[in-house]
Amino acid sequence: MYKIYNLLAVFLLTASSLFSQPCNITPRPKHIEYGTGFYYLPQKTNYSTNLKGQSGDWLRKILRQDKIQFRETFGKAPIRFRCTQNDLEAESYSLRIDASGIRIEAPSEKGLFYAWQSFLQLLPPPENGQYRLQFCHIQDAPRFSYRGMHLDVSRNFFDKNFIKKQLDVMAQYKLNRFHWHLTDGSGWRIEIPTYPELTHQSAFRPYPNWAAWYQGGRSFCSPEHPQAQGGYYSQEDINEIVQYATDRCIEIIAEIEMPGHSEAALSVYPHLACPGETTEKPNYCSGKEETFVFLENVLSHCAKLFPSSYIHIGGDEVDKTPWSKCPYCIQRMKEQNIKDPDHLQEYFINRMEGVLKKLGKKAIVWDEAIVGKLATETLVMCWRNASMGVQAVSQGQKVIMTPSEFCYLNSYQNAPPLEPLAMGGYIPLRKAYSFDPCMDMISNADKKKVLGLQACLWTEYIDTDSHAEYMLYPRLVALAECGWTDPERKSWPDFYRRALSIAESLKLSGYHSFDLRQEVEERSSADATRGNIAYNKPVHYKNKYHSKYPAAGDSSLTDGLKGGWHYGDLRWQGFLDTDIDLHIDLGVNTSISSIDTEFMQQKTQYVWLPKEVRFLLSEDGKEFRLLQSYSTNISANEERVIFNSYRWEGQATGRYIKLQALNRGIPGGWLFIDEIVVR
């Protein structure tokens, strides 16, 4: 007995001293312990399993795709898969490599699948026809049950091969939900046999991409049109993708947008909009029964195609003004005793929840839908910001967190002037990795209502496969780790090390990943205090900055902190529909030799450079003399993100420095100004 204890002690000691060795499994597992010794696995080998029938076939199919050539045997084999229960929800697993071989155990097929993904990541390159595997024991389980990726195929269409290719990466990094944004204003992408016109008339556009369509008249065309661009998924395509995903333990959540974001359907069936509707963003009419008949038929078809118990029914960004003017909607509000259009949306969503219930399904909605009461089983997908999650949870709903500032992968991942045009925002890898879906939840009970997270890819400015992959990777992998790994097991330096090689291996496998080595530093890391005479000096505003973008308030422009790559970082100060007119009081007459500031332009977000910038100087604060004025010669139509410097140089003395910047005068246009540096 003594001997055994002694041996065990030696083993444990070795194990703990090896514990700090890097682990190359992503997402990082819950628990991994290394032992001393190696198991040599031949490239051609046998496996055994207790899975039978369909489950056995599934395992055979999964194993067929990998680097090892397998043969199933009965009895002892180098690799053994054992399913211990038939718990459909469980995703945990245990993976042990020791002198007796590789033992994989899990309470479910999902667990076996994830164990296999971890195992594949452990495989070194083979030497002499075999793999050298260090002894180890991994026990792993995900932090969240919902770990999703979303793809918008309405703005621009992506074909089924592209989808399957991305499902492969999702599976590899243990993501388990694919949210398929199948309909929106700019294209209907799912074949509905009862309504063939939908895909015949609004799945194609006579424009090369979304941007050209959006700016050029927003019309659709038939697939036969000579300039037709776009596409849709036939029932066969969808069956094929659903099977492909199911094999990889990924559930597909189909989204049919309603009542807003429905221009594509309404262009085919204008009678489903409110009568006389001329706004740019029409909705389905909530007063007409035909609307509900149509949507019920569409959802019934989806319920048959998609095995998931959830269907996403949108609910976001509804412009409700048409409803308040429509006689049908007004009549509906009267009959149902509905007090305003917000509650008409509640009525709309509640009716669709009822339809789904009848079909044996449950709803997922975007967070705007919490203006009304929702069915308890409805999940809320929180995108506007994390506080929407807090609100939804306090209303008793379960949530999926996808706040745009961390999870919208259509945002820039690197210095915007160096990048292909994107929607806006700035989410470098490190920021994506810092995301915690529970961060704003106060109590543990609230945290339990957070089912997980989702990365979203909206495709307004993404019209090629390679660009979509460029935006997804490696940031998707960072979010995959946020969804799987417990916060105390996360480590940015360790993840960054793995991300470099993940990006590299994705490239080798034919994915167009962003090259992390090209990443440049955050702009705001520059020091603006050194030699800055204006540092901490008071600023007086004639026209106030906007309450939405105050940055640090009155002290912001002289606090020594430069703005970053995104105006929303609380360092850039924003002015809406107004000029900037302010002065800095240096306290005493001071000799100065330069004044610097910067503005930015980001047309996609209605942010423009000023038409003109003036620097003025005064000794008494009353009489100002012009030092210099600059007209901006960059066009307001320039779509690239531009940071433009304005600098005066010379010799002058004064106490008050005035800066005036003239707004372009485009309604809804912003000016964003950075730190003012005086030397």
Give the residues lining the site for Zn ion (CB under 5 A): 274, 285, 287, 326, 328-329
For residue 154, which of 255, 283, 228 has the smallest C-alpha distance? 255
Cβ-contact 395, 388 below 8 angstroms: no
Determine how many CB atoms are found less than 10 A away from the CB of residue 3.
7
Nearest approach in angstroms of CB 282 to Zn ion is 10
Q: How far is CA 36 from CA 98, 477, 615, in A?
A: 9, 30, 70
Side chain identity at 481, as an amino acid letter?
A: E
Which token pair is 233?
């998924």
Could you tell me the smallest distance in angstroms from the CB atom of residue 288 to Zn ion? 6
Least distance from Zn ion to the Cβ atom of residue 256, Å = 19
> In the complex with Zn ion, which residue's Cβ is closer, 242 or 274?
274
Rounded CA gap, 646 and 676, in Å?
Answer: 10
What is the nearest approach in angstroms of Zn ion to the Cβ of residue 447?
A: 40
Burial 230-250 (b: 16+ CB within 10 A, else e): bbbbeeebbeebbebbeebbb
**Minimum distance from CB of 298 to Zn ion (Å)?**
19
Q: Which is nearer to Zn ion, 266 or 477 (CB)?
A: 266
Select 344 or 661, whichever has its Cβ closest to Zn ion.
Answer: 344
- Minimum gap (Å) between residue 328 Cβ and Zn ion: 4
Per-residue tokens: 371: 């203006």
> What residues have CB less than 8 Å from 528, skipping those under 6 apart?
535, 560, 561, 562, 675, 677
Amino acid present at 336: Q
Q: What are phi and psi of 549, to 5 degrees?
A: -130, 65
Tell the smallest beta-carbon distance from residue 345 to Zn ion (Å). Answer: 12
Comparison of 321 and 518: residue with beta carbon closer to Zn ion? 321
What's the closest the beta carbon of residue 348 comes to Zn ion, in angstroms? 11
* End-to-end Cα distance, the chain: 79
Shortest Å, Cβ 260 to Zn ion? 13
Cα–Cα dist 473/475, whole Å: 5
Length of the chain: 679
Beta strands in 146-250 (DSSP E): 146-152, 177-181, 183-184, 187-188, 204-205, 229-230
Distance, in Å, from the CA atom of 50 to the CA atom of 83, rounded to the nearest integer, reads 7
Taking the complex as a whole, the smallest distance from the CB of residue 644 to Zn ion amounts, in Å, to 46
Q: Taking each helix axis from N to C terminus, what angle separates 475-484 and 160-172, rounded to the nearest 10 degrees?
A: 50
Minimum CB separation of residue 314 from Zn ion in Å reads 17
Give which of 461, 607, 487 is closest to 152, Cα–Cα: 461
CB 515 → Zn ion: shortest distance, Å?
A: 50
Nearer to Zn ion, 329 or 349 (CB): 329
Longest dimension (CA), the chain: 96
Closest by CA position to 238, among listed 320, 160, 165, 324: 160
| Nearer to Zn ion (CB atom), residue 57 or residue 289 | 289
C-alpha span between 494 and 456 (Å, rounded): 25
In the complex, the smallest distance separating the C-beta of residue 285 from Zn ion, rounded to whole angstroms, is 3
Residue 595 has φ and ψ, to the nearest 5°, of -130, 135
Rounded to a whole number of angstroms, the minimum distance from the CB of residue 287 to Zn ion is: 4
Rg (CA), the chain: 29
Residue 32 or 273 with smaller CB distance to Zn ion: 273
| CA gap 163, 483 in Å, rounded | 21
**DSSP per-residue string spanning 11-77:** HHHHHHHHTTS----SSPPSEEEEEEEEEEEESEEEEEES--HHHHHHHHHHHHTSSSEEEE-SS--
Cβ–Cβ under 8 Å, residues 416 and 602? yes
Helix (H) or strand (E) holding 588: strand 580-601
Sign of the CA dihedral running 160, 161, 162, 164: positive
Which residue lies nearer to Zn ion by CB, 70 or 328? 328
From CA 283, how far away is CA 315, in angstroms rounded?
A: 11
**Distance of closest approach, residue 326 Cβ to Zn ion, in angstroms:** 3
Nearer to Zn ion, 146 or 294 (CB): 294
Nearer to Zn ion, 295 or 380 (CB): 295
Of 18 and 371, which has the nearer Cβ to Zn ion? 371
User: Which pair of tokens denotes residue 176?
Assistant: 């388990």
Q: Please, which residues bridge with residue 134 across strands? A: 38
Minimum gap (Å) between residue 292 Cβ and Zn ion: 12
The nearer residue to Zn ion, 204 or 348, going by C-beta atoms, is: 348
Nearer to Zn ion, 169 or 273 (CB): 273
> Which H or E element spans position 391?
helix 386-394
Give yes or no for a cis peptide into 142 (omega within 30° of 0). Answer: no
